[in-house]
A and B are shown apart, each in its own frame.
Chain A
Amino acid sequence: MTLIVENLTIDHGAIRAINSVSFTVPTGNLAAVIGANGAGKTTLLRGLSGLKDIKSGRATWNDESIVGKRPENLARSGIMHVSDGKSVIAELTVKENLALTGLWRKDKKDVAAATEEVVSLFPILGERMSQSGGSLSGGERQMLAIGRALVARPKLLLLDEPSLGLAPLIIDQIFNTIRKFVTTMNLTVVLVEQNAMGALAIADEGVVLNLGSVVAVDSAENLLKDPAVRTAYLGY
């Protein structure tokens, strides 16, 4: 099960947001997509999850094309997109938020088991089960959003800037947790981040985007050592 993206092009109105982007993420790998604001990272994820129309190019997951499919169908086939802005429904409780990805699944026992696992991964959620999503802190909401995706037992996880707006300590916590469950659950992950350092530190490979085009694709280790990348995105 590999994610193959080939010459993907996405338009945002009159702007070419993603320009012929290509990269591959082998099964079980974590790919960090980094780049400045406006580089098109979010658009890329939205294209992959079906929220945004793809103008041209290919994207396959598990040898099946994911272009032109509806988001809910892609979600049901194991592709979970945790969108930015803390995609938690504030008016629903934590418990209800977690339940959303299991509503359509027939194996309710497994849904319950998956929910248990998520709660043990993020214990704070267990304490706040009946509180509204809106009452959680930023970090807690991020955990809830990721947790909700994990309840669906996804195979491909698309994470959009999980560190946005969070305190450094929490960011570390979240990144470590992501690395942990990627390994234990054998997930394939595309991690979009402005926090290039943190993302590359836990990633297997990295894709650097600038103004919609791929600037570099390499192993995370190499990118961390690359002077150009370091100056542009890592600040040293």
Chain B
Amino acid sequence: MIKLITAILTALTTGAIYALMSTALVLVWRSTRIINFAQAGQAVLSTYIGYEITVRTGSFWIGVVAAMIFGALLGAVIDRFFMRPIFKRIQSGPILMIAPVVATLGLLGIIQSIIGFKWGLTYQSLAAPVSTDGYTLFDRVIAFSPFNLLVVVFATVSMLLLTLLFQKTNIGLALRASAHSPEIARLSGIKVDFIRTLGWALAGAAGGLAGMLYIPSSYLYPNAMDVLLVFGFVAAVIGGLESLFGAVAGAMILGFAISFATSYVSEKLVFPMAFIMLIVVLLIRPAGLFSKKKSRRD
């Protein structure tokens, strides 16, 4: 019984983090039609900023806000001054659809190098604002701490706010319209380029939040979010890259699959499980489990 509860709670926690990362990836995919591999770098750099602010102000929460603001700004800057010029070049040169993806990989390396230059490669620790010791349930300590609860709550609240933004506001409508059909949006007078940059900013903020919520349970170093990028990607693919709902659902499914596999079968199954789920979804329903399309739009 305890095992089941623990497995579920762990699934919720990891799923929450995956959801933030997959949301970031889906936001960029829907607005720009690329997978932004640099997201791992953006998120961890935002976390470093959050870390610095936390150390200086002594408040984790101010650090979170700082990380999110920085993440948003960084995302916007990258879209405006890096991605847009690259897409412009593509029209003219003999360059192609893969170039932007390769460019994001290069950008990932650059960001991680910058981190290495400034902070070095040693592992840092980001202290959590609340206890990371597990709660006690039925006289046993379970692997779910107040901090984990915080993570789940925060991620849930963020996703709800984001959903509200998308469904109930004018900006959200503009975001959705631009994602579905940039041309119709333009013809309706929507400034699609600005909206796209906004999408990148939201993705950057989500990544920064993901980092701040994840790192306290791990270590802070330039490659700290690489694995999360992979999980976020798998989650996004499982859910289908077409909707926020898919991103979250995919993340939850992945979180539960990994959690139960590691709890009940073997601890070593984390990566194999993720990889298996990825391959299975790509083979059986390539568009993702929650996508309305029959095949991938790539």
Query: Is there contact, CB below 8 Å, between A152 and B189?
Result: yes
What class of interface size applies to chain B in its complex with A? Answer: 10 to 19
CA distance A202 to B186 in the complex (A): 29
Q: Chain A interface: which size bin?
A: 20 to 34
Chain A residues, CB < 8 A from B190: 72, 100, 103-104
Task: Find B188's partner among A50, A90, A101 (CB 8 Å cutoff).
Answer: A101
Q: How far is it, in angstroms, between the C-alpha of A11 and the C-alpha of B173 when the chains are bound?
A: 34
* CB proximity of B139 to chain A, nearest CB, Å: 51
The reply on B181 being an interface residue by CB < 8 A is: yes
**Interface residue ranges, A against B (CB under 8 Å):** 49-51, 70-72, 75-76, 80-83, 87-92, 96, 99-101, 103-104, 148, 152
A89 touches B183 (CB 8 A): no
Residues of A within 8 A of B114 (CB): none
* Contact A103 to B181, CB < 8 A, known contacts A72-B191, A76-B189, A152-B189: no
Q: Which residues of B contact A50 (CB under 8 A)?
A: 186
A79 to B289, CA, bound (A): 41
Contact between B188 and A103, CB atoms less than 8 A apart: yes
Which listed residue, B170, B181, B186, B191, touches A89 by the CB 8 Å rule? B181
> Can you list 20 pairs linking A and B with CB atoms under 8 Å apart?
A50-B186, A51-B183, A70-B186, A71-B187, A72-B188, A72-B189, A75-B187, A75-B188, A82-B187, A87-B187, A91-B180, A96-B176, A96-B177, A99-B170, A100-B173, A100-B174, A100-B188, A100-B190, A101-B188, A103-B189
Pick the contact of A51 from B170, B186, B191 — CB < 8 Å?
B186
How far is A72 from B192 in the complex, measured between Cα atoms in Å?
8
Q: B173 touching A103 by the CB < 8 A rule? A: yes
Q: Are B187 and A92 in contact (CB under 8 A)?
A: no
Since A51-B186, A103-B170 are in contact, a sample of 7 more A-B pairs with Cβ atoms closer than 8 Å, ordered by chain A residue number, is A49-B187, A75-B186, A76-B189, A83-B187, A89-B177, A99-B173, A100-B184
B15 CB to closest chain A CB (Å) equals 26
Shortest distance in angstroms between B167's beta carbon and chain A's nearest beta carbon?
A: 10
Whether A81 touches B176, Cβ cut-off 8 Å, given contacts A72-B192, A103-B170, is: no
Question: In the bound complex, how far is the Cα of B170 from the Cα of A99, in angstroms?
Answer: 9
